[in-house]
């Protein structure tokens, strides 16, 4: 008989014969190899790797929208699609588009144990969406035009949304106070275009508006709800439209993870041959250090993304070497400037004054 140091766990002190694992076993989750924190996938395996394995339960992922809001909705839908595939409960909130229409635009999935790949050119089967458990919050249907707004309080849209989220968490037992009838599950919360004028907020219209603290109050209360429940949240926000930079700093501090998308559309880089293989840059501005007072910053600065017909991919930005004398002076200057901005991670040799010799 082989001798092993592993022993089967005995009965619990409560007298039950359940000898299951210590961590909660929920479909579509896995423990972090660093601290044992329960993780869910963002729906994009490459982003999961950058965030240390996935999105921790009880945290907020903030996506800074690209200028024309073309690529950030894809990350939003990937997060929701991952929930549908794993049987998680969804809560979709938007002031622009009906949540039912958002779910109809989610692409099908390819097989994977944790973090799937989604075809952006196709749609998920209708029967799979209908079988999922989801709740929609469409702001125009929740707010009446005769609603009175109290001074120095949250905007009506934020108040209604917080009440809606709180009710779902408590009524369906995601807070743990009322045990869920079925197997324990994860609540995935997706909030689209938060902070935009569609939500009744004026931070995008004026530097010092009357509702300058409504967004930060909302995030503060939301994070309190998430910390005490089996839930994870993704928020897309048009930070490029926010006039007051101090508000952006406060929003960043109230978020656990901040990822910014910078699209090349409408910029000089769109026609620059140095960036011809990419559609934009992705900035990991903040990654979580759970149970700590401060958040960490990613040491990976030179990341780019591109959208193929079927797949959204993230990879290191590799600039071509300046080997030819026929390269224009403007291209050389762009190459040197890009190398300086990216730092030691990429292209330092290309930023020098001398050509590369082989």
What residues have CB less than 8 Å from 173, skipping those under 6 apart? 179, 180, 181
Whole-model pTM: value is 0.78
Per-residue pLDDT reduced to its tens digit, 142-184: 876 544 545 446 888 999 999 999 999 999 989 876 555 556 8
Per-residue pLDDT reduced to its tens digit, 15-65: 444 444 455 578 889 998 878 889 999 999 889 988 888 999 999 999 999
- Domains of the chain, by residue range, sit at 29-201+211-316
| Average pLDDT for the chain | 79
User: What would the DSSP string read from start to end of 86-145?
Assistant: HT-EEEEEESSS-HHHHHHTPPPEE--SSS-EE-TTS---HHHHHHS-EEEEEHHHH--T
Q: What dotted CATH number matches 29-201+211-316?
A: 3.40.50.300
Measured between alpha carbons, how far is 332 from 327 in angstroms, rounded to an integer? 7
Segment (H or E) for 225:
helix 214-227
């Amino acid at each position: 008989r082989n001798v092993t140091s592993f022993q089967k766990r005995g009965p619990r002190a409560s007298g039950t014969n359940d000898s299951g694992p210590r961590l909660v076993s929920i479909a579509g989750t896995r423990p972090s190899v660093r601290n044992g924190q329960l993780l869910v996938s963002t729906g994009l395996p490459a982003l999961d790797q950058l965030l240390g394995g996935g999105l921790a339960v009880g945290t907020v992922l903030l996506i800074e929208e690209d200028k024309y809001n073309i690529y950030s909705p894809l990350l939003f839908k990937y997060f929701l699609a991952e929930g549908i595939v794993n049987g998680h409960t969804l809560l979709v909130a938007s002031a622009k588009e009906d949540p039912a229409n958002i779910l109809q635009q989610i692409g099908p999935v390819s097989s994977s144990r944790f973090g799937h790949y989604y075809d952006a050119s196709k749609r998920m089967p209708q029967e799979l969406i209908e079988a999922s458990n989801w709740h929609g919050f469409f702001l125009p249907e929740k707010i009446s035009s005769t609603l009175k707004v109290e001074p120095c309080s949250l905007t009506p849209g934020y108040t209604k949304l917080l009440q809606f989220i709180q009710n779902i968490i408590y009524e369906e037992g995601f807070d743990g106070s009322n045990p869920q009838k079925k197997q324990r599950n994860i609540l995935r919360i997706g909030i689209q275009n938060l902070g935009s004028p569609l939500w009744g907020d004026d931070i995008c219209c004026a530097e010092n508006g009357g509702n300058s603290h409504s967004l930060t109050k909302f995030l503060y209360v939301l994070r309190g709800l998430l910390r005490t429940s089996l839930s994870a949240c993704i928020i897309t926000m048009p930070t490029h439209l926010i006039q007051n930079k101090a508000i952006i700093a406060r929003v960043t501090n109230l978020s656990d993870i901040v990822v910014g998308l910078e699209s090349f559309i409408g910029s000089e880089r769109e026609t620059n041959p140095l960036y011809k293989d990419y559609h934009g840059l992705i900035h990991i501005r903040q990654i979580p250090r759970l149970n700590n007072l401060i958040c960490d910053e990613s040491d990976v600065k030179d990341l780019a993304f591109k959208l193929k017909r079927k797949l959204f991919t993230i990879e290191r930005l590799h600039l071509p070497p300046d080997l030819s004398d026929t390269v224009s002076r403007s291209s050389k200057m762009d190459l040197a400037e890009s190398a300086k901005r990216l730092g030691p991670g990429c292209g330092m040799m290309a930023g020098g004054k001398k050509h590369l010799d082989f």
